Amino acid sequence: MAVITEPLKNQADLLRRGLADLRAEDAELAAILDAEVTRQQHTLSLVSSSCAVQPRTLAASASVLVNVTAEGMSGKHHSAGCENVERVESLAIRRARQLFGAQYANVQPHSASNAVYQVLTALLEPGDTLLGMAVEHGGHLTHGSLAAFSGAYYKAIQYGTTADGLIDYDKVRLLALAHRPRVILCGASAYSREVDFKRFREIADEAGAILLADISHIAGLVATGRHPSPIDAAHVTVTCTHKQLAGPRGGVILSGADANTKIPGLRTTFSRLLDQAVYPRMQGAPAANMIAAKAAALGYAMSAAFDACMAQIRSTADEMAKAFQAKEYEVVGGCSENHTVLVRLRGGITGAIAEAALGHCGIIVSKHRVPEDPRSALVTSGLRIGTGALAQRRVDVHGSRQIVDLIVRILNTVAPLGEQDYTLEPLLLTQFRSEVETLCRDYPLADYQ
Ligand SMILES: *Cc1c(COP(=O)(O)O)cnc(C)c1O
């Protein structure tokens, strides 16, 4: 047992003490956490949702606010002793509104999935109709998949992309007019082109639907003006805080021009309904320490450093898309307009094999289905590459080309055995691993860990 010699005076004392205790008294857990730091530093993550938090955000998430129960919304916390939770929540809300130019922000949702469900359950009765993008076409489970709550509790109509990988807006309109959904969801998890939020709003207005935009994947690009913003186009927007925003695991609900308008068919406004949708309808007390971390991340997202990182995300995605095309790979959608590059594999290499073989070499990337994919979601024929974590390593044009070149050499070397198995010569594997190691050294995650 560690002996307490004097009371802990501040947050820094507490963190130092916590880390020392962890090392001294729970070596098993400490070793796993250290192994993860090593893994993240010595692999290249091309996972399209991935990014590393700033140390300041990490520290804020570990604050003593975790000890406070503060049921209720900002300004109306029920419990005693909530004055600092109140201050931190107001700060996070102010920053979220400023960053996105929103009238309304709710920073309590524990995740983006929760945030989507909070909005849906507030606006829909079980069995009501929603229209969302199919997972197989790049949508998210919460947008109407039968495997999730969204598809099980609502009558979910799904739209997708054309064979070229572009959202088929005419089809969306026809589906909306035919099925008259109460809510239309837009925003994707695997879509490399701009989403036309204004077009979606026109369709929603024509069909008498409420538009919910989910910008979990592109929130940083939206915040820095590199992707059109849905804040005023959609009635409600949700985002997670742990992808491009480099914050803690959590969600935010936003609303712009419609925040204080009455909801069709209801006697209340969006902002009032959204507050109730989170508490008391779906959550209890918020995770105040995570709200502090959201405030830290949202503050960082207003910095010049963050802006530069978002610029790098875009240029790296452009460069990688071109580099794959130069090697005669099909890039779905023809190019990237965000952080995502969706590549169709060839030569009998399935997504499952590519993911496993590249992972073995230290390049972490997800398999993904591509338009008209003959293979199942477990196998797939594509790779979904994201440039968020590479931008944080400041991978430049030269580095982007080197990485694509390495990926292509690895894929050319792999010998597939069916759909999931493969062989890769041990000598070459060692060679590829050391090339990844060199890239990780040349482009370190220095500012982040
Ligand atoms: C990642 C993602 C989510 C889910 O976020 P969680 O916070 O992990 O629940 C929701 N919607 C979209 C479009 C996403 O890409």
Summarize pLDDT for 298-345 with one digit per residue, the tens. 999 999 999 999 999 999 999 999 999 999 999 999 999 999 999 999
- For ligand 1, the distance from its centroid to the CA atom of residue 170, given in whole angstroms, is 26
- For ligand 1, the distance from its centroid to the CA atom of residue 111, given in whole angstroms, is 7
Which atom of ligand 1 lies closest to the CA of 249? Answer: 7
| Percent of the chain predicted with pLDDT > 70 | 98
* Over residues 218-222, mean pLDDT: 98
User: pLDDT grade, residue 7 (50/70/90)?
Assistant: confident
- For ligand 1, the distance from its centroid to the CA atom of residue 129, given in whole angstroms, is 21
Which atom of ligand 1 lies closest to the CA of 240? Answer: 7
362 is in an annotated binding site: no
Q: Whose CA is nearest to atom 9 of ligand 1?
A: 113
Q: Facing residues of 416 across strands?
A: 422
Say if residues 54 and 446 touch (Cβ distance below 8 Å).
no
139 is in an annotated binding site: yes
What burial class does residue 110 get, using C-beta atoms within 10 Å of its C-beta: 0-12 exposed, 13-18 middle, 19+ buried? middle
What burial class does residue 292 get, using C-beta atoms within 10 Å of its C-beta: 0-12 exposed, 13-18 middle, 19+ buried? buried
Q: Please, where in the chain does CATH 3.40.640.10 lie?
A: 64-300
The yes-or-no verdict on residue 144 having pLDDT over 80 is yes
Residues 303 and 307: their CA atoms lie apart, in Å, by 6
The yes-or-no verdict on residue 6 having pLDDT over 80 is no
- For ligand 1, the distance from its centroid to the CA atom of residue 339, given in whole angstroms, is 15
User: pLDDT grade, residue 3 (50/70/90)?
Assistant: low
- For ligand 1, the distance from its centroid to the CA atom of residue 113, given in whole angstroms, is 6
- Best residue among 114, 140, 212 to mutate for probing ligand 1, ranked by most atoms within 8 Å of CB: 140
Phi/psi of residue 158, nearest 5 degrees: -120, 140
Residue 242, SS3?
coil
Which atom of ligand 1 lies closest to the CA of 241? Answer: 7
* Over residues 214-224, mean pLDDT: 98
Q: Please, where in the chain does CATH 3.90.1150.10 lie?
A: 304-448
Which atom of ligand 1 lies closest to the CA of 243? Answer: 1
Q: Which residue has the higher pLDDT, 146 or 74?
A: 146
User: pLDDT grade, residue 264 (50/70/90)?
Assistant: confident
Residue 449's pLDDT is 47
Ligand 1: lining residues by beta carbon, under 6 Å? 49, 111-113, 140, 142, 187, 189, 214, 216-217, 240, 251
- For ligand 1, the distance from its centroid to the CA atom of residue 142, given in whole angstroms, is 8
Q: Whose CA is nearest to atom 15 of ligand 1?
A: 189
Residues 212 and 201: their CA atoms lie apart, in Å, by 9
- For ligand 1, the distance from its centroid to the CA atom of residue 27, given in whole angstroms, is 33
The yes-or-no verdict on residue 413 having pLDDT over 60 is yes
Q: What is the pLDDT of residues 12-58, one digit of tens each?
A: 999 999 999 999 999 999 999 999 999 999 999 999 998 899 999 99
User: pLDDT grade, residue 2 (50/70/90)?
Assistant: low
- For ligand 1, the distance from its centroid to the CA atom of residue 133, given in whole angstroms, is 13
Q: What is the pLDDT of residues 90-120, one digit of tens each?
A: 999 999 999 999 999 999 999 999 999 999 9
- Report the chain's mean pLDDT, rounded to a whole number: 95
The CATH code of the domain at 64-300 is 3.40.640.10
What burial class does residue 225 get, using C-beta atoms within 10 Å of its C-beta: 0-12 exposed, 13-18 middle, 19+ buried? exposed
Q: Whose CA is nearest to atom 2 of ligand 1?
A: 216
User: pLDDT grade, residue 1 (50/70/90)?
Assistant: low
140 is in an annotated binding site: yes
Which atom of ligand 1 lies closest to the CA of 217? Answer: 15
User: pLDDT grade, residue 76 (50/70/90)?
Assistant: confident
Residue 4's pLDDT is 58
Q: What is the pLDDT of residues 183-214, one digit of tens each?
A: 999 999 999 999 999 999 999 999 999 999 99
Q: What is the pLDDT of residues 387-406, one digit of tens each?
A: 999 999 999 999 999 999 99
- Top CATH class, 304-448: alpha beta
Residues 413 and 406: their CA atoms lie apart, in Å, by 11
User: pLDDT grade, residue 294 (50/70/90)?
Assistant: very high
Residue 438, both tokens:
């060199």
Residue with tokens 């998210």: 140
Contacts of 314 (CB under 8 A, 6+ apart): 221, 226, 338, 339
Residue 418's pLDDT is 94
Q: Whose CA is nearest to atom 12 of ligand 1?
A: 216
Residue 263, both tokens:
């909801």
- Best residue among 114, 118, 142 to mutate for probing ligand 1, ranked by most atoms within 8 Å of CB: 142
Q: What is the pLDDT of residues 155-170, one digit of tens each?
A: 999 999 999 999 999 9
